Structure 1
């Protein structure tokens, strides 16, 4: 065999066919230096794609009799404007879009406050409750209200409204509590029964305080219904303006066409709380059953945002089932004695055993400290017990006006009593659903 010719140097010209003769078993190698290719620029309207790395086993070769398929997800880059493209084969599930491509909740549900300031409109119809003063009024020297507080007001007037130090800490706390009570609702009335197994613990008093605190802070209508199967005393806590009772509402239900007709059957106090009295005749009060309550509740739901129900003594009377079926939240009233606290706890046990566990976990306990034996009992231990079963607990302090058992004047209550009632109202409102079908 002839000697193998030497390979030409890199960059040298290769010999021609006449000068080079190779046998079939010999190999010719030629090295050529080429300039690097310029990178290709992707047009702006062309979406780039990224293919996830798929591990490949070089020693594995698919059998012709057992074909296999592999699905590779192709995710469009941020330049893409259409839906996420995917490449899939049989037996696989579509690839999920990347988390970065999912629009934020504000973009899906509507526009944010910043978007509204830019003039953008919401894709969903807005309710009238969204037209608030905070949204519509531009805060400046003219529209900003004057401060509340002795020193703050003095500085404000002395400087001819030039220096506004803002409200005092006490006023800010009051306005914050007002804001919590003024939570807006959509989708019908909210029902809040006030109940306990024992009488004489101040359940009617708590219903009155809760209703007054709600009515004094909110702009919508609040009504308290006396559903006591015995003779209730709820109507005696406000100045009586009518002798009508729940029985009259049942009889006149077909003729009640608007709020004017219904308002003629209730009594209203200085806070705008409406009270619907119970029957005063014991013979008639026994006839007030769950069907009658449903009639009254249906009418009240047409005209009021929050309906309080004074359920009377006990929890097994005929009206209780209809009351609990409509309840969005419950308030349990407990006294400060051992017996009263135990019966209030047994009320929670009865509710849990009868399928109202969700109401129990969301309940608020009003601990009336004006009952007998309160000074001899460790109230902290009672609160610790109820805190393990319900959502919140509020103490109702002793007040001479409440102890008299007569008409209650909201403005004449002690500041601590008003604060307790407003705290109870805020906790109750926070436990109610804001929206409902």
Structure 2
């Protein structure tokens, strides 16, 4: 509220401005409540105030004080403070911009009692001496103790300096963290790991894992002479052998795979290649492998392996096909050699008038598919006999055997042509051709030309060298074969598995 010069000092219940005193000794009295005071000073009098606060002989002072109730002001005393000292106790606030959002006022702290009394006394002295003007002041009280210099923005006092007079303090929030175990189903998909990821390569420190005993002449000799302290690893041949074993042992997804071994001419080593391929597969793989002698005219596959003396054949399996309840029923009919290769012999009874037929082979194939991963078939001489149709219909990979002579090589090439002309073109292109040397010495044909010819028509070509044990025509013991023969048989097995895996991909 604005004080006027012509008002009667006695009419105001809150305070008066006395014109008897000079400006230098003037004071402002605040008697409670929130007020804005405007003081008009005489223009002709000189003062020590700076020119910043004087506009056309008037000094405007806006007071904004928090609403705090103070006790009644005491009677004025004579010694009044200077006006600039009183102004220092006033908190001047910048005008509020119209667009700004008003903030909710924060309750101010209760000033100390002695400071309140001192300020009230100074205000009373100022009103007693500055009687020329009268100011109507609503109840107001300063929010804080006098500070120097003048502050443009009110700041709250620290909590530990003065207590807050508003709402009671809230308790601090709890910071305890509850730890709970999560089930596997509650984890995100990106954080889930399966058990197969816990491999030895991941979990074991390679520097603390003992290396296996090295294989190879010089590697093993150095390992032995050093008291098993110096292990330089396997030799070159041992590494190649283990890599070849890993290729053969690669897993095959899905059901049983059927691999017939064909030839259009007898005596080229078709039965021998079937036995070697089966032994190489069974020796390196963990699943079951069986070789079926499907020769309708008395095959000799069972004679090439260590056969049990039970006299069972494919005819017996056909007879009990509906009564088979488990693998023990199959194991009573098949023969197994040292490599774990199972062999199902052909019918050797000369009194049987009916030959092994296409339907018989399908019945055997149905039973074998339930218990074996790989089923090799020795098809007999020719490709037009009674079993050939079912054999080719079930074939996943074909192996063609050729001897190292001109006529044998020509018949093997004509076998590929027959397959291409009778609806088995893809099987012919994916076939593996085996060049089997059944006689000692250097062959008369040029092996390079022969291999180049079959490489242009089939997927792979493998050469099986001459071996005296095979040439003798007796039982084949895989461990007693020449290293070159075993390596050729294992290479044939690796190519077969890679071909089957490529088709499944």
Q: TM-score normalised by the shorter chain: which range applies? A: 0.5 to 0.7
SS in 1 for 2:434: strand
Residue 222 (structure 1) aligns with: 289
Equivalent pair of 1:201/1:340 in contact (CA under 8 Å): yes
Residue in 1 that maps onto 2:279: 212
Aligned partners of 2:251 and 2:353: how far apart in 1?
Answer: 35
Matches within 5 A, 1:253-264: 253-264=321-332
| Structure 1 residue 135: Cα displacement | 6.7
When residues 342 and 434 of structure 1 are mapped into structure 2, their CA distance, relative to the original with a 3 A threshold, is closer
Deviation, 1:153, is 2.5
Query: C-alpha displacement at 1:145, in angstroms?
Result: 1.8
Distance in 2 (alpha carbons) for counterparts of 1:425 and 1:135? 31
2:260 matched residue in structure 1: 193
Residue equivalent to 1:280: 348
Question: Which of 227, 231, 234 is residue 298 of structure 2 equivalent to?
Answer: 231
Superposed displacement of residue 281, structure 1: 2.6
Q: Name the structure 2 match of 1:121.
A: 193
Partner residue of 1:314?
382
- Who is 1:243 aligned against? 311
Task: Tell me the CA shift for residue 312 of structure 1.
Answer: 0.4
Scaled by the length of structure 1, the TM-score of the pair is 0.68
Contact 1:256 1:262 in 2 (8 A): yes
Asked if the contact 1:229/1:285 (under 8 Å) is kept, the reply is no
Task: Write out aligned runs for 1:53-68 (5 A).
Answer: none
Among candidates 467, 470, 483, match of residue 402 of structure 1: 470
Match of 2:215 among 148, 152, 165: 148
Q: 1:215 Cα deviation (Å)?
A: 1.0
SS class of match (1:432) = helix
Q: Structure 1 134/240 Cα, relative in aligned 2: closer, same or farther at 3 Å?
A: farther
**1:67-90 Cα deviation digits (max 9, x unpaired):** xxxxxxxxxxxxxxxxxxxxxxxx
- In structure 1, the gaps of 5 or more residues are 1-115
How large is the Cα RMSD of the aligned pairs? 2.5
Counterpart secondary structure, 2:474:
coil
Larger Rg: 2
Q: TM-score, normalised by structure 2?
A: 0.59
Q: Choose from 406, 410, 414 the match for 2:482.
A: 414
Q: Which of these residues, 348, 358, 361, is aligned with residue 426 of structure 2?
A: 358
Q: How many residues align?
A: 316
How far did 1:423 drift? 0.9
- Going from structure 1 to structure 2, the CA distance change for 1:292 and 1:415 (only over 3 Å counts) comes to same
Q: C-alpha displacement at 1:139, in angstroms?
A: 3.6
Unpaired segments of 5 or more residues in structure 2? 1-188
Q: In structure 2, do the counterparts of structure 1 residues 309 and 134 end up closer, same or farther at CA, with 3 Å as the change threshold? A: farther
User: Structure 1 residues 390 and 145, CA, compared in 2 at 3 Å: closer, same or farther?
Assistant: same
**Rounded Cα–Cα distance in structure 1 between residues aligned with 2:448 and 2:366:** 40
In structure 2, distance between residues paired with 1:208 and 1:285: 27
Aligned to 1:292: 360
Match of 2:459 in 1: 391
Q: 1:238-263 CA deviation, whole Å, 9 max, x = no partner?
A: 12213110000000111111111101
- Paired residues of 2:222 and 2:231 also in contact (CA < 8 A): yes
Counterpart CA distance in 2 for 1:427 and 1:170 is 19
- C-alpha deviation, 1:146, in angstroms: 2.5
Alpha-carbon separation, structure 1, partners of 2:319 and 2:252 = 30
Aligned match of 1:425: 493
